[in-house]
Structure 1
Amino acid sequence: MIPQEIIRRKRDGDELDATDIRSFIAALAAGRLSEGQIGAFAMAVWFKGMSRAEIVALTLAMADSGDRLQWADIDRPIADKHSTGGVGDNVSLMLAPIAAACGLAVPMISGRGLGHTGGTLDKLESIPGYMITPDADLFHRVVKEAGCAIIGQTGTLAPADGRLYAVRDVTATVDSIPLITASILSKKLAAGLETLVLDVKVGNGAFMADRGQAEILAQSLVEVANGAGVKTSALITDMNQPLADSAGNAVEMRNCLDFLVGRKADTRLETVVLAFAAEMLVKSGVAASSDEAERMARQALSSGKAAEVFARMVSMLGGPADLIENPDRYLARAPVAKPVPAARSGWLGACDARGIGVSVIDLGGGRRHPADRIDHRVGFSELLPLGTRVNAGEPIALVHAADDAAAERAVAALAAHYRITEERPELTPVIAGLL
């Protein structure tokens, strides 16, 4: 196998056969390809696309590049959820313990921030001691005893995807349907899932800004996953504004803890979390209907059982046992906090969600290069939702920054990302469709 020949053929629009794809991915996993070759392959796929057969071959090759997990000794349905990435999207952090509290086993393999979007692992690393890459035995034990475990890819689980994922982040090849499909599903197939629910984001803060493209991606994911034997569905959700009222790492972890103890009810975030919990429970056969499943999820929250599951997971993976009770003891705060004043009176009519994600990176809360260190303290909190009436000078968000200069830049940037209108806007439903 000559890597540059495979790259050339894809660059020229040829269809690659499964043998060539498998050979290329095996070389990637073994470290025999340079970052330049990986980036060139990703760019060729971005421009020329892939057939369904090529996507299936790429997904299976990446899933088979390492170990496949087995859950024969767990008598619960094995289920998971994955998001295509958004801003202020911390659904997984609450959804996993809710689903586990309702009777599912959730071995959640998550990723770091990609492009302008936040990463579940980066948020979890805000917690002192939390191990995002435990060994296989500990991962298995946490899933079995706590009900869920949210971790990153280990060196033995879809290792080819781990390297490709990092290169895509810095080569403007994130928003490729074949690469997104293979990246997501290779990890899920390797995790030994029975059921999978996908959150495909659409809007100016998503990788798919166009509804039609989001539906194409959702269809690709659902067809490939079901074809591989995993019962899969997809919800298309709105990403024209941050989903939570926070965007960053530690600030989103605080948001998660607030949610689990009941301080984020009646929000867009709650709507999405409960919808995915219901879909997971119905797909897995634990609930007979969406209404029954939502009642189960709400009970898991109100009873405190979901919070207990989350606390047990964090403790078993090396974090503090009393994180929920004492978040200020463990989640670091940025030294500077400044409000973002509304430029004028009116309605928050629209925002540039992607721009908000980029502003988090500018604060130091994301990466420009794979090896960059993240400042987990920085970001935005108290973001007001679109459709809120504000007066001139009233805070629409709070900036958390490492110093005054960074805070001032972020205040100006965030204010510019919002449009204040004289008339109340018509808002897009947060859940746009189901496939």
Structure 2
Amino acid sequence: MRTPLSKNQERKGVKASATVIASIAALMGLGQGGLLVSLPVLVSETQLSLTVWSIVIATGSVFFLPASPYWGRQSDLNGPKPIVLQALVGFGMSFGLLYVFIRFTNTSNLPDAWVIAGLVTARIVYGLTVAGMVPAAQHWAVLLKGEEKRLEAITTISAGMSTGRLLGPLLAIALLNIHPLAPLITLTMLPFIGLLIVKSLPDPGRQTHTQTKPSAPVLPPWRAVPFLFIAMLGSAALALMQYTLTPMLQVATEWSVSDISNAVGMLLTVSAAITLTTQILVIKRQRLSARRMLVAGAVLMLSGYTLFLSLHWPVLVLAVGLVAAGGALFVPAYVSEATSRTVAQQGTMAGYIAMSHTLGYGLSALLVMSLAFGVVIPIGINITLSGIILFVSVVLYLKPRQ
């Protein structure tokens, strides 16, 4: 029989392990933010155009489509720990290869075609390996905290990613003052430090795998499709908003290019801070069920996207804040609801959700071409997408749980 002291120690151990896993998930945000902030420097260092770099970076995202569900299934079959470990190795290798081939452009006469091939290879390594990090981390957190605390576990990982997105640009800016490639060096080293820490954590897969060996479905179950659908639409709307922040500010203000660039950075920082704050409050207070969070998040996002129509600078700040708060509620809610419908294949479902996010980002890249018809058009598209999300969320809220 366990004593109250041993139970307290167990709770502290679970909390510490969950914090470590959330910190590992934060690497995703650090990598994204660091790469985006470093992009002008990378263009300057390699003499490759911004278009080439955009294609190089996008290459990694493409490979998330097949890799996320695959690693999710492997997490169900073999436990999440080995998936997180290989994701960390792939993360470090990817940024290490980026550093090596960028250095080649300055220290050798290597043709641009070979440099580009090396950079693309680095991003392929990233896409094929790091795609498993978030699904496995979410799976691991749920195994640690238990089914009854599924929403708290998933929100913990989301908060970790939000922390990375908040700190990533700030860290990159500080490191760029030291050396142009310092962010890449840091992002190469951090995963291997994380690797040493994660290796010391107990493997939850060994405890669950012996009890049940889940089948690995090729396609998601129909009951989870609505959640995957709104995950795709939500990601598309958010990415489209980020793409159109600069054009909106150009219409709303008469600022210089540098002022607009700083304003976009400030808006993204505010967005990340509000997202993180909302998620922490949700974890601690736990006042809303997942279904209510789904509807509340959809309402906030629709309100925020509608406010963008004002094209007035102070209102844009409020709009970004509402969208961020809505997303902070919305994302953990649909992840929790979707994974609860496939208890034996939680990693697989988390992989499908990551795939839906990638599809959403791809959709936004197509929708951004609507800017050719004026900045109001993409705003209208986002209002439409968030309206569909709200409709589906209300239907799911009213539908009796089976």
Greater RCO, CA 8 A, separation 6+? 2
TM-score, scaled relative to structure 2: 0.28
Instruction: Return the structure number with greater helix share.
Output: 2
